Structures are given as structure tokens and as C-alpha cells.
Amino acid sequence: MIEVVNPATEEVVGTVRAGTPGDVDTAVTRAAAAFPAWAETPAEERARLARRIAEGLAARTGELAATMTTEMGTPITFATKVQVPNPVGIANGVADALEAGYFADVEIGNSLVLREPIGVVGAITPWNFPLQQMVAKVVPALAAGNTVVLKPSELAPLTAGLLAEVLTAAGVPHGVFELVHGAGPVVGEALVAHPRVDAVSFTGSTRAGRRVSALAAETVKRVALELGGKSANVVLDDADLARAVKIGVANAFMNNGQACSAWTRLLVPADRHDEALEIAVAAAAKYVPGDPADPSTRLGPAVSAAQRDRVVGYVRRGVEEGAVLALGGPDAPTERGFHVAPTVFGNVRPDMAIAQEEIFGPVLSVLPYTDQDDAVRIANSTIYGLGGAVFSADPERALAVARRLRTGQVDINGAAFNTSAPFGGYRQSGNGREFGRFGLDEFTEVKSVQR
């Protein structure tokens, strides 16, 4: 059995059965048997299914939010306002794409170009946005006519059980969706390597993504990866510094700092570094570690003791490398729970580990730059390219800089997140896209029929 631990109390709050490679084979066999009939289901019917899933998730917002808070420590207010509404928006975005004619045939000369489902999809999801990442894979895969075998994170498996209930209530047939719990090296690897799995969609660390790619290559299956990030918030010299920094801190610390697209690097003009650092410290100090079940809490714990220790290790490394520790530090802020103190570093050099490597905790690095070209150079100086931001009083100038950032998504002046726009990374942040019609692309094949 896999024990589920509440990271705020360190108490076991549930268990799930750990699957085996044999369980994976059984699930894949069922999914393969269910595929032909499901693939023939009209796109209009699958769009209606996506709508019902969205409605089912919305109807269970309270239960889903509370479960995620309990098993992975996300603040209940964030869970209620983001962790559930985003998946609802994603499911509706998939339905929108199908209703807009995603599967319409295209004629090119004497060729008829068709979109068809790819087959059995293996979906492997993380613990930090458990519902969002499951929905971002499962719903478009099903809507495209595929069958799905899901392996959720063993750190946050309870939410997956609730999703399975929503899918069943929405009308997903037996075998079209299969759920197998278990550890990555056991269940995850068996799923990726299975010869009857036609595509794999994985979200997790870059290290694990490399392993997924290597295993999938043995059977030359389609792979979509959403991996790590080290996103830069580029504050230009004409921006409203106070607003840009406060929004940047909120983004860096959202979900307890456990977000792959978080703006963990704050790039500011060198002559305004000290001012920006002071604003950042004041904003970050309001993120007091506390009980994530309390609606007033803005910063909950790390998901596990191992994750807490990893973050603390990076904080110590930042001090050793000579960054200015302006707030927080490695000491535990609470007696119980896997909490990490909100931490802000100033005068961070681009070559420091805290400016290059994904920390996945409430740690913000403030980096000074000399001019706009230098800011772009620093922003593009990591192996990642997932998210980012640009702040400027001139929207066109901000857009020009956004075009130069080698990253899959850029927000200008704090623009809202869009669950129908493509989400994914450049370079070692992965390949492929999620959400809307671009997410459907990952789960379809294109066929040309000459007439």
C-alpha cells in the first residue's frame, strides 16, 4: 500500500494500493480493446462528454479542493480559486475546439486530410497541480477518440480517485479510462515501455522526462513532455516597479512555490535593484507559513520531507555562492509540517545555482541587468524555457521583448492565465503543448487520402 501523508501535519490521511507491471498490462489490454469502438464515437458526442466532465468537476469543487489541500498542501483558497477552476476551463476549452470543427476534413489538391485518434495514451501526472495536469491530459485524449491509462503521482493519488468518479458519472465507458497507482520506476516505466501504448504524455522533472523519452524510444511512440522551468520576470526600466515586483512575488510563491512555470527569477535594472529588493522582501514577508486548510493562509508546506530538504539545500547553496539573503533562510519556520520559510535573494548572478536550477519552493532570486539586451540574455541563459513575464509601460515594447524570450509562454503586465491557449516549453522544459486545440494535436494522427 502507498500511504498518503498530509504535509502540514505529517500524518497519514489515506492509502492506495501500489500497482505492479502486471496491473499496467491489464489496464493497457482493456484500453486497447476499448479503443476501436471509442474511436468511432462522433466528435460531437465526445465534445458533450468534455462538457459533462467540466460540469462534474465544478459541482465537486469543495471536495476536490479540500482533497488537494490535504494530500499535497496547497492553500485551500488557492485550491478553490485556481486548482479546480483551471481544470474546468481546460475541459471546456477542449469542448470548444471540437465544436469549432477541429476534426473537420481538409482538402489539399487531390488529397483529403483527416485527423484521427492515435490509440492508447499513457498519462503520467505530477503532484503539484494534480487535478489540472490529469485533466489536461485525460480530457483531450478522450475527446480526440483515444483510450487512456493514467498513472498519477504517488504523493497525491486521492484526487485521481475523485476524477475517476467524475469521469464515470459523465459517461466514460469501461476500459476507455483506466487508473493505475504506483511508483514511477515501477508502474510509470512499465506504462511508458508497454508495446501497446501508442503515445505518452508526461509532466514532471526534466530528469524523469529524459528517462521517459529513452524508454519510449524503444517502441518509437509519440511523447509529449511538460518538464521543469526557471522562468524570468523581466521588469523593464519604464515599468511600474512596485506593481511588477508584487505580482512577480505572488507568481513565484503561488502553490507554495511549487509551480513549474513560476517566475522564480526577478530581473530588474541594476540602478533599481535595491529598491526592487526592498519591495520584494516586503511582499514576500506577507507569505507566512501556516495551515493550508485555513482560508487566510497564503503559504503552505512543501509536499514532502524530501522536497523540503531539497529546497533548503538550495537556500544554503545560495548563501554559499554569495547571494544576499534578504529574507528567510534554511531554518524551519514551524515545529510541524514540511514548511519552508519564504526566501528572497538579492544580487544574484546568472551563473549561480539558484539562478540556473529549478528549486520548486518559495525562493525568489533578484538579478540586476544593465540594459534591455542584457535582460534578454539573462532570461534566456538557462536550459529551460517554460514561462516568463515582461512588465513595461509600453505594451508594444513589452511584446517586442516577449518575442525574444525563448520560452513557451509569456505574460505581459500581469495578464490572466488562459486555459485554452497553448502551454508547454522550449528546450529542456519539454516538447508538445497542452490546452485547447493545441493540446488535441498531441493525441491525433494526420492521414492523407489521395483521390
Residues with catalytic roles: 226, 260
Specify the amino acid at residue 305: A
Q: How is residue 20 written as a grid cell?
A: 505492479
Q: Any idea what DSSP says for residue 186?
A: I
CA distance 169 to 172: 7
Cell numbers describing residue 364: 525568489
Angle between helices 85-99 and 43-59 (to 10 degrees): 160
The strands making up 388-391's β-sheet, listed across from edge to edge, are 324-327, 343-346, 363-369, 265-269, 232-235, 388-391, 411-412
Find the DSSP H helices in 335-427: 353-356, 372-379, 395-404
CA–CA separation, 144 and 110 (whole Å): 26
Cell of 3: 500511504
Q: Which residues pair with 151 in a beta bridge?
A: 124
Residue environment code for 398-435, b if the CB has 16+ CB neighbours within 10 A, otherwise e? beebbebbbbbbbbbbeeeeebbebbbbbbbbbbbbbb
Q: Are 183 and 104 in contact (CB under 8 A)?
A: no
Letter for the amino acid at 169?
Answer: A
Cell numbers that stand for 402 in this block: 516577449
> For residue 283, what is its C-alpha cell?
511582499
Kind of pairing, strands 232-235 and 222-226?
Answer: unpaired
Please name the amino acid found at residue 365: S
**CB burial string 120-142: b at 16+ within 10 A, e below:** bbbbbbbbbbbbbbbbbbbbbbb
The residues facing 324 across adjacent strands are: 346
